[in-house]
Every structure is written in structure tokens, then in C-alpha cells.
């Protein structure tokens, strides 16, 4: 069976960087503890935990002598300060794209402006960003929530890195209509998700079947399957090579492979090896 890989697949820049930083700390023989799971992939988490990496839920769980890792989503300045006080070392693996949103929010707040962040207020990335402008910022899912906010003054509108562009721009337009003064709009959406979808879409017309590697509960991975199905009926979501069902691929000569942004390369390699052996 011929296997064709989507150009953009697997680990995004921010996740790869975070995993590399953890690997460096392990090489230094540090006791590594991540605040929250480093990555939404069970197999990679299993690999890291077998190398000694443990996860904590609260900064209070970290102890002297240990290295605390801030994952790609970032944290509030308070949480970072707490970790710095308790741990012997803090590895800040906040994705630079997220750091940018934090800095923009902090700058606008310092100028006395309101900050509208379009995103899910419950998402850890948004909790962290909100901490950079606690008094001045509002995290909202979309424009329908604007009615609940106080009068906005010279607002800055930014976004969670992973939301849909349409939601962001529709909300920004609605802010412009109701805000006092000038509204500054800065698109802080990261292109990793869209790049993976575009790349899968481009390949899906050339193959008889498509395998997407990612978590069964990952909405990004499920969306990748939906994109592949637009042109390729036989598109399947699997977590590991063991999930490949040869019956699904009967008569298939060329198969496409892609993977969600939390899927490590070693899992992709396993799947490719298995497909090539069929």
C-alpha cells in the first residue's frame, strides 16, 4: 500500500517546543512536574510519564528540588509567581503565540483600555490571558455576550489562538459598533489548525482512504476527519497503529495520513510502518 503524508501534520510548533523543553530538563536529570497535562495525547503522556514526568493540578503541589513546567497554554502571572516561589526551577513552555496575546492584553490594560478576548472563558489559555488584564478584560465566546458587558472604551479585540476566524471577525465588527472611541483589532489566531486542515483537504482528492491519527475525543482531530471525508469517504480516526482495521482498507492502493497537533512523530511513524506492511 502506498502511503502519502499530508505536508502539515502532527505536533504544532508550540507543542513540539514544550515537549523539547521537557526533554531537555529530563536530560539534566531534573525532577519534572507539569502544571496540568503537557499535551492532549494519551500515548505521548504515557511515554513522558515512563521517563519520570508527573503532572500536578495546583502550584501548591510543587516542592523545592523540583522543576515546574508551564505548558503551551500559559498561566496567569500569579500562578507563575507561585511556581517560581515553590519550585527550584520553572520552565516556561508557554507558546510564543500565546505570550503575544498575554502581552497585548497587558499593554492595553496599562493604557486604561478595555480588552475583549474572543474565546472560551473556561479554556486554560483564556484563564491565563485574563490574568494579564484582570480588571480590564472580558473573555467572550461571541458577539451575543457583548450585551452583558459595561460600556467599552477604546477597546482592543484579540482572540484565543485556536478559534474560528469568522467568530473572531464577526465579534470584532460588533464591538466596533458599540464601543466608545477607537477599536483596535489584532487577529491572534494561530494557523496550525487551519494549515493541517488545508493540507489534508489538498491530499484527500488523491487517495483511496485517509487515516487521521489523534485522540478520539479531540475536536481538532474529528474536524480533520470531517475535512478528509469531503473528498474521501473512507476516512478514519485512529489513536495508534493497533486501531488500523485491515478490512476497512480492502482494495485500497493509496492511503493518506495526517495527524492532529498533539500527535507525536513516533506515533505517525508507527502507523506508516503498519500501513506499508499491509
By CB under 6 A, name the binding residues for ligand SF4. 12-15, 72, 95, 97-98, 161-162, 190, 192, 261
Name the residue whose CB lies closest to ligand SF4. Answer: 14
In whole angstroms, the minimum distance from the beta carbon of 231 to ligand SF4 comes to: 25
Q: Which is nearer to ligand SF4, 261 or 271 (CB)?
A: 261
Q: Which is nearer to ligand SF4, 179 or 261 (CB)?
A: 261
In this structure, how many other beta carbons lie within 10 angstroms of the beta carbon of residue 234?
Answer: 17
Q: Which is nearer to ligand SF4, 155 or 260 (CB)?
A: 260
In whole angstroms, the minimum distance from the beta carbon of 136 to ligand SF4 comes to: 23
In whole angstroms, the minimum distance from the beta carbon of 166 to ligand SF4 comes to: 18
Q: Which is nearer to ligand SF4, 98 or 238 (CB)?
A: 98
In whole angstroms, the minimum distance from the beta carbon of 264 to ligand SF4 comes to: 14
Q: Out of 84, 125, 180, 276, which one is annotated catalytic?
A: 125
In whole angstroms, the minimum distance from the beta carbon of 213 to ligand SF4 comes to: 17
C-alpha grid cell, residue 276: 506499508
Contact indicator for 252, 208 with CB cutoff of 8 Å: yes
C-alpha grid cell, residue 200: 489534508
Q: How far apart are CA 260 and CA 271, in angstroms?
A: 14
- To the query of whether residue 125 is one of the catalytic residues in this protein, the response is yes
Task: List residues with catalytic annotation.
Answer: 125
Amino acid at each position: 500500500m502506498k502511503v502519502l503524508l499530508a505536508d502539515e501534520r502532527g505536533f504544532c510548533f508550540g507543542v513540539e517546543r514544550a515537549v523539547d523543553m521537557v526533554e531537555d530538563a529530563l536530560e539534566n536529570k531534573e525532577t519534572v512536574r507539569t502544571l496540568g497535562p503537557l499535551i492532549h495525547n494519551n500515548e505521548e503522556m504515557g511515554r513522558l510519564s515512563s521517563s519520570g514526568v508527573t503532572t500536578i493540578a495546583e502550584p501548591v503541589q510543587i516542592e523545592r528540588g523540583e522543576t515546574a513546567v508551564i505548558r503551551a497554554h500559559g498561566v496567569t502571572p500569579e500562578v507563575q509567581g507561585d511556581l517560581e516561589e515553590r519550585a527550584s526551577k520553572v520552565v516556561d513552555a508557554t507558546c510564543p503565540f500565546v505570550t503575544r496575546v498575554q502581552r497585548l492584553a497587558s499593554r492595553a490594560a496599562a493604557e486604561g483600555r478595555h480588552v475583549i478576548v474572543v474565546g472560551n472563558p473556561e479554556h486554560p489559555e483564556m484563564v491565563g490571558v485574563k490574568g494579564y488584564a484582570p480588571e480590564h478584560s472580558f473573555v467572550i465566546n461571541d458577539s451575543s455576550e457583548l450585551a452583558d458587558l459595561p460600556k467599552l472604551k477604546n477597546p482592543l479585540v484579540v482572540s484565543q489562538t485556536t478559534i474560528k476566524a469568522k467568530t473572531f471577525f464577526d465579534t470584532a465588527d460588533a464591538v466596533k459598533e458599540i464601543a466608545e472611541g477607537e477599536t483596535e483589532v489584532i487577529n491572534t489566531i494561530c494557523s496550525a489548525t487551519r494549515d493541517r486542515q488545508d493540507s489534508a483537504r489538498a491530499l484527500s482528492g488523491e487517495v483511496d482512504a485517509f487515516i487521521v491519527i489523534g485522540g478520539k475525543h479531540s475536536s481538532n482531530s474529528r474536524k480533520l476527519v470531517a475535512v478528509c471525508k469531503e473528498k474521501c469517504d473512507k476516512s478514519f480516526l485512529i489513536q495508534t497503529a493497533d486501531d488500523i482495521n485491515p478490512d476497512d482498507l480492502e482494495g485500497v492502493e493509496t492511503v493518506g495520513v495526517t495527524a492532529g497537533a498533539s500527535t507525536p512523530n513516533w506515533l505517525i511513524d508507527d502507523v506508516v510502518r503498519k500501513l506499508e506492511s499491509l
